[in-house]
Amino acid sequence: MAVCEVCGNEYQRAFEVMMDGQRHVFDSFECAIHKLAPHCVHCDCQIIGHGIEADGRFYCCAHCAKEHGVSAAVDHVR
């Protein structure tokens, strides 16, 4: 059984994630998100959905990107 690198739980259904050439082992998506999800440079929330990347920085939404000077950022609305 594998051991989660975040919480240390030994779990028979643990899974691996490859990111940037590194292998990570988790027992839940919650732990994987905690460890791997990027943080918004404006509000510091973890980005677990579609974020915005501009100039190598990550934002959770267009509002936060605009607050940091990314004028072309727009949210998709209908």
pLDDT over 90 (residue 50): no
The whole-angstrom distance between residue 70's C-alpha and the CA centroid of its chain comes to 20
Give CA torsion, residues 7, 11, 14, 19, to 10 deg.
30
**Using 50, 70 and 90 to split pLDDT, how confident is the model at 9?**
very high
Phi, psi dihedrals of residue 30, rounded to the nearest 5°: -55, -45
Is residue 68 within 8 Å of residue 41, measured between CB atoms? yes
Tell me the average pLDDT across 19-45. Answer: 96
pLDDT in tens, 55-72: 899 999 999 999 999 988
pLDDT of residue 78: 63
pLDDT of residue 30: 95
Full-model pTM: 0.78
